[in-house]
A and B are shown apart, each in its own frame.
Chain A
Amino acid sequence: MLLLLTALFACALLSPLIFRLAKRNAFYMVAVVPAAGFIWLLTQLPKVLASDPSAGHAAPNAPPSISIDWIAALNIGFNFRLDTLSAVLLLLILGVGTLVLIYCGRYFKNDDPQIGSFAAKLVAFAGAMTGLVTADDVMIMFIFWEITSVLSYLLIGFSQSLISARRSALSALVVTTFGGLAMLAGLLMLGAQAGSYQLSEILAVSSQLVAEGGYIDVAVALILLGALSKSALVPFHFWLPGAMAAPTPVSAYLHAAAMVKAGVYLVARLAPGFAETTFWLPLTVGLGLVTMLVGGYRALRQYDLKLILAFGTVSQLGFIIAIFGLGTPDAGFAALALTLAHGLFKATLFLAVGIIDHNTGTRDIRQLSGLSKSMPVLTVTAGIATASMAGLPLMLGFVAKESVYEAALHLDGTLRLWVLPVIVLGSALTMAYSLRFIVGAFGPSKRQKTPTACKRPTLIFLAPLFVLAAATIVLGLFPAPVEHLVHSAAGAYSGPVKVHLAAFSGFNSALALSVVSIAVGVLFFWLRQRSDTGAPLRRLVVSAEELYRGSVNLLDKVAIWVTGRTQRGSLSFYLGVILLVALVVPLGIALLVATPWPTEWVLFDHPAQAVIGAIIMAGALIAIVAPKRFMAVLMASVSGYGMVAIFALQGAPDLALTQLLVETIVLVSFVLALRALPRRLWVGLTKIHWGRAAIAISLAVMVVYIAIGMMAARTEAPISLAYPDLAYHEGYGKNIVNVALVDIRVWDTFGEITVLAAAATGVASLIFVTRSFGAKRLRAHEVQPGSIDHGSEPIGSRGAERELGLHVAREFGRSTNRDWLMAGSTLVAERRSIIFEVVTRLMFHSVLMLSVYALLTGHNTPGGGFAGGLIAGLALTIRYLAGGRVELAESMRVAPGLLIGGGLVLAGISGIIPLLAGDAIFTTYAWEFWLPIFGEHKFVTSTIFDIGVFLVVLGLVQDVLRSLGSEIDVLSEGRSPVDPHDVVASSQTGVGR
């Protein structure tokens, strides 16, 4: 069994290759695989028939089975089981599959490039169906079930260029996967309740399950939903006629013999156990009978041969499912016989339509005329199949239908009263559309007097039809093998089977019903022919397809409406929504639960706090209303510098130091970046928006309110009480904050420097965009003196003083004295400031020394890697401001990427080394030593980590200066004093020049 599955899927994988070599004749080679499977199945039949379908796995007479563990924890495995029901369907799947593949060998054009993948899908489909009907594990069955849906989608959409094919494929997929999802839920519910996901075990305990009611009722109804959608019952039936966009062999195989039988199979499988659940009868028998009538009626109205068959299939599927749904042994017996009969005749008829379409170029019965003369062999073959469909004597269809009538006659009172008339009526419709089909296809046409031109089909093209038609008539005359098969399958039911299959079982009520239905059917056909004007179809009052399209359209509209209302494309709208949610939810919770309220309040801890506070608040508020951008930036900085004082007063020297340095560098960066933006961009921004203000103020009040509650709610001693001792004894440092950063909470810091690296790279990428930023570094001696930053506005005051300043600067540039700065002479005179250059020269190295000092002593006194890195960064900033971009390049010959990368690596190494020594990651060691001048000293290994931090921070600052400073200089060079990037209006360059 497993070999068969593997062979089918392997064949599917290989077929594109085979087809490249052998073209369409490769279909014959591919057909060997299902044919071999069919023969293997025949050899297995005696064993299968001898087994008892309801026997458990261990029982001696259990059907052949295989289990391979897959997900043991979920109790899901590749468990397959071949009982008679599976075998019967498998015979259809493999037998019809083989014949359809052979048929394809003449159906398609030899040079069609798509047939390779087409054959692959068809064979894979046979594999999926094989898996579906033999799987004992419901999850495995479900997987195969969904594979068939996907393959069906691909096969219907075979003609990718046709919109109708794509659309039909999609609606088939949507409908069947919708059912599939419902089914999955049902299977899970059922499996959970049964305690097993094996079909055989679930069915073994079905009577207990059914007795539990409610929950199982729903589970079974959900599973049925899957079956009904797959087998195209009302109201899901519309996808099947749509699926006729597929090539005809696909319709013959998927939509007559195989896939649509998946739903039938599932109903047949569950019927012995779950026919008594609440929703079973209405869903199967009820909808099945409705489908039978709707399908039959609509088939009678079609002009396209394929559509007559498609609606006929819908009708027959409804019929079969209704009979299986009855749940009696008789019904199960009869329905399975009907399934076989249907598979044989419907496949024949579809293939016949394929030949007609292939050889005449149309399937429209209004255009076809006189084919019985030009294609007599096909006419007889199709006639046999049609007779079987109509339920005429001698055919398997008749035999099966007789047994159905028989089974229906054995039903109890009310049910029989409902079922019997409907199936007689449905059979009459079947008779009628069968006539319409055969007369329309092969008979003379009312409107088309000249016979349709066509070529005769070759025998090899017809061969598969002969086999199917022969089976229909032989098994109709001698139904014993079928009887044997379906009788064995009915063994799954608990009661005895009282009906039989016979070519002629005497003059009884079943025969009478057949006669009635045939007679009424002929009448229907006569009425229909008389009223048939050949006019296009009228629209139905309401069709399921229109309902489907309508609901899909409604969904589209709702989606667009919702998207349009929520995804507005406005950042401030999104932020507003986010902030409002952030306001309402926590505030709601805070108000609902009892919030503790502090008892102790102080106005301030130190009077200076009040003064500083006033400055900070003023800075923040003025930043909002400041009429000029630079003023707003400065005001924000004022509040930032205010924080420095707050930190200093609060016993946080490290914070004060860091904030001071950062605030300074941020201010410089701001000025550097924004100098390119013209002043007019700020106009009109200071108008207060009261809506935003309301959101902002409420949020702030909410945060403060919750913070008060938090402070009052604090009961435990803070964990940081242990920090001083931890820092000194484990981290070997006195600066508790620094030890926390490089040792106690080192992972946080490591994460943070990674973020810094990312931000630095981001800055550089945004400014340099596609230009390489690792390009050749500027050297002062290679640059034309007095060329850098040309076009700058003169520094200093205006008027005469400016002239004097310029004069001095030019003199300074010409002087033969060694420059104070390495690249000072590269700047234009307007850009130079002698005093600044001298001061920079004097300060730079001292500041660098300070930064190293802060880094190395940071473990014990305020400072550390962050502060050290920022100080060094400031030193660089000063060099850049005084000497321009060449000076920056000269003063830092290492690329920032190298600094940042090196810093990260160093920090990482400091964490890994202890691992090599067998300690925990980031363990700190200390060595004490004595140096001649410096005296007693202690080296702590976490300093290495801090050096890494230092390098990353320095790299970040360097990247900022290089990007927001140097690169923007280059981009705006020579365009000052006209606004460098502004083409519209000329205004002041900005600041900082």
Chain B
Amino acid sequence: MSVNITFLAITGVLLAAGFYLVLERTLTRVLLGIMLLGNGVNLLILTTAGRLGKAPLFESGLDPNVYADPLPQALILTAIVITFAVTAFLLAMIYRSWMLNQADVVADDTEDIKVSLSSAYDEEEDAPLAADTTEFVDEEGRPVREGEE
């Protein structure tokens, strides 16, 4: 099987550009990156599938090797439509994020940052306690003597 250098080059550039954009914080650019990645991967599947051939439309008596491989084509077709669905979903997300935050960036998760800044001290676990010498205390902790009624 001969290797098509042009296809490999296109794949490489699409993937590199896609990965680069996906690593950004701006959602729109992330989405563009996902689209480029999608195209790059589709081309990769097509490239590894084999050489170009006749369109896979059946003709009686033809050697199956003459057709372009139909299986990767079916896979890619599915992938194209799914990428469309993902794109639409992300577009809706971008709009929503804009409505909520007036921004187009994935902000850092403040809860996560809080965790990393939190202290190991925990009131429940680490606060010093006075020794109590009776169980019979009222709500304020004052001892109440309890006799038989």
B86–chain A nearest beta-carbon distance, Å: 7
The verdict on A662 contacting B64 (CB below 8 Å), with A700-B12, A762-B92 known, is no
Residues of the B chain whose Cβ atoms lie less than 8 Å from the Cβ of A752:
78, 81-82
The 7 closest A-B CB pairs, nearest first, are A564-B116, A569-B112, A455-B147, A569-B109, A651-B68, A759-B85, A696-B19
A578–chain B nearest beta-carbon distance, Å: 10
How does the 8 Å CB contact mask read for B1-35 relative to A, with 1 for contact and 0 for none? 11111111111111111111111111011001001
- State which of B6, B44, B52, B135 has its C-beta within 8 Å of the C-beta of A651: B52
**Contact status B85-A760, CB under 8 Å:** yes
**Contact status B56-A737, CB under 8 Å:** yes
B143–chain A nearest beta-carbon distance, Å: 5
**Contact status A579-B23, CB under 8 Å:** yes
A981 interface residue, CB < 8 Å from B?
Answer: yes
How does the 8 Å CB contact mask read for A624-659 relative to B, with 1 for contact and 0 for none? 100001001100100110010011011111110011
A29 interface residue, CB < 8 Å from B?
Answer: no
Q: Interface-forming stretch among A232-240, A281-289, A470-478, A722-730?
A: A722-730
Chain B interface residues toward A at CB < 8 A: 1-26, 28-29, 32, 35-36, 39-40, 42-44, 46-60, 62, 64-65, 67-74, 76-78, 80-89, 91-96, 98-99, 102-104, 106, 108-113, 115-120, 122, 124-127, 129, 131-136, 139, 143-149
**Contact status B16-A677, CB under 8 Å:** no
| Docked CA distance A665–B91 (Å) | 13
**Contact status A646-B73, CB under 8 Å:** no
Q: In the complex, what residue of chain A is closest to B130 when comparing beta carbons?
A: A164
**Contact status B96-A734, CB under 8 Å:** no
A314 interface residue, CB < 8 Å from B?
Answer: no
| Docked CA distance A662–B35 (Å) | 11
A721 interface residue, CB < 8 Å from B?
Answer: yes
Residues of the B chain whose Cβ atoms lie less than 8 Å from the Cβ of A681:
26, 28, 103-104
Q: In the complex, what residue of chain B is closest to A605 when comparing beta carbons?
A: B52
A447 interface residue, CB < 8 Å from B?
Answer: no
A603–chain B nearest beta-carbon distance, Å: 5
The verdict on A609 contacting B146 (CB below 8 Å), with A647-B46, A696-B16, A696-B19 known, is no
A535 interface residue, CB < 8 Å from B?
Answer: no
Write 23 A-B pairs (CB below 8 A) sorted by A numbering: A166-B124, A363-B133, A567-B115, A569-B111, A602-B2, A604-B4, A652-B73, A655-B77, A666-B35, A673-B92, A696-B23, A697-B20, A699-B16, A704-B8, A722-B64, A724-B56, A725-B64, A727-B70, A728-B60, A734-B57, A737-B73, A766-B96, A981-B98
Size of the chain A interface, CB-CB below 8 angstroms = 161
A624–chain B nearest beta-carbon distance, Å: 6
The verdict on A704 contacting B95 (CB below 8 Å), with A247-B135, A736-B56, A740-B70 known, is no
B contact face: mostly helix, strand, loop, or mixed = helix
The verdict on A674 contacting B94 (CB below 8 Å), with A640-B35, A693-B20 known, is yes
| Docked CA distance A654–B53 (Å) | 14
**Contact status A649-B71, CB under 8 Å:** no
- State which of A161, A650, A725, A861 has its C-beta within 8 Å of the C-beta of B57: A861
| Docked CA distance A557–B94 (Å) | 37
Inter-chain contact count A-B, CB under 8 Å? 405
A461 interface residue, CB < 8 Å from B?
Answer: yes
The verdict on A704 contacting B11 (CB below 8 Å), with A601-B2, A755-B85 known, is yes
A669 interface residue, CB < 8 Å from B?
Answer: yes
Q: Interface-forming stretch among A86-94, A129-137, A148-156, A708-716?
A: A708-716
A756 interface residue, CB < 8 Å from B?
Answer: yes
| Docked CA distance A602–B4 (Å) | 5
User: Which chain A residues numbered 722 to 772 have a C-beta less than 8 Å away from chain B?
Assistant: 722-725, 727-728, 733-737, 740-741, 744-745, 748-749, 752, 755-756, 759-760, 762-763, 766-767, 769
- State which of A632, A677, A685, A953 has its C-beta within 8 Å of the C-beta of B81: A953
**Contact status B6-A613, CB under 8 Å:** yes
| Docked CA distance A710–B122 (Å) | 55
A600 interface residue, CB < 8 Å from B?
Answer: yes
A823–chain B nearest beta-carbon distance, Å: 24
A544 interface residue, CB < 8 Å from B?
Answer: no
B65–chain A nearest beta-carbon distance, Å: 7
A324 interface residue, CB < 8 Å from B?
Answer: no
- State which of B89, B106, B133 has its C-beta within 8 Å of the C-beta of A362: B133
- State which of B4, B23, B91, B117 has its C-beta within 8 Å of the C-beta of A673: B91
Residues of the B chain whose Cβ atoms lie less than 8 Å from the Cβ of A563:
115-116
A718 interface residue, CB < 8 Å from B?
Answer: yes
| Docked CA distance A725–B147 (Å) | 96
Residues of the A chain whose Cβ atoms lie less than 8 Å from the Cβ of B124:
163, 166-167
